[in-house]
Amino acid sequence: MKYQILISSVAEAETDQIFLSISQRLSQEKAKEWYKGLLKAIQSLEKMPKRCTLARENEKFSQEIRQLLYGKGRNTYRIIFTVIENHDSYFVRILHIRNAVQQSLYEE
C-alpha cells in the first residue's frame, strides 16, 4: 500500500525558514543537501508510515500524531505528521518540521 504525501503550508514555511537558517550559518550547498535529505525522508513515509513513533504531542490531539527523525545530533529535525486512511484513500499529512530541541507544539 502506498500513501500519498500532503504537506501543510505551515510545514512548508518551517522548511523554508530552516533552509534559510542553514544557508546563512553554513552554506547554500549544505542547505541544499539538507533539503534533498529531508525530501527523501518525507518520501519514505509513502510506505509504512506507522513504523514511526508517536510524537510527544500525541496525547493532545484527537488523531494520532507521529514523528520521523531526520538528521543527527543538534541538527536532528522532527517531521511531525498524521496518517489518514479513508476507504480506498491513504494519506500522510505533514504538519510540522521542527528541530528536535524545540519545545513541544503549543508549549512555547
Q: Residue-wise pLDDT tens for the chain (108 aa)? A: 899 999 999 999 999 999 999 999 999 999 999 999 999 999 999 999 999 999 988 988 889 999 999 999 888 999 999 999 988 899 999 999 999 887 676 654
pLDDT of residue 102: 72
pLDDT of residue 54: 96
Distance, C-alpha 58 to centroid of its chain: 14
Domain annotation covers residue 105: no
What is the C-alpha to C-alpha distance for residues 38 and 57, in angstroms, rounded to an integer?
21
CATH of the domain at 56: 3.30.2310.20
Burial state string for 25-34 with b = 16 or more CB within 10 A and e = fewer than 16: eeeeeebeeb
Taking phi over 0 as left and psi of -120 to 50 as alpha, with beta for the rest, 15 belongs to alpha
> What's the number of domains the chain is made of?
1
Domain annotation covers residue 88: yes
Residue carrying C-alpha cell 553554513: 26
pLDDT of residue 21: 94
Predicted TM-score of the model (pTM): 0.90
What is the C-alpha to C-alpha distance for residues 4 and 71, in angstroms, rounded to an integer?
23
Domain annotation covers residue 18: yes
pLDDT of residue 86: 87
Pairing outcome for strands 66-70 and 89-99: unpaired
Residue pair 101/73 in contact (Cβ under 8 Å)? The answer is no
Domain annotation covers residue 108: no
pLDDT of residue 3: 95
Domain annotation covers residue 26: yes
Domain annotation covers residue 106: no
Residue carrying C-alpha cell 501543510: 8
pLDDT of residue 100: 85
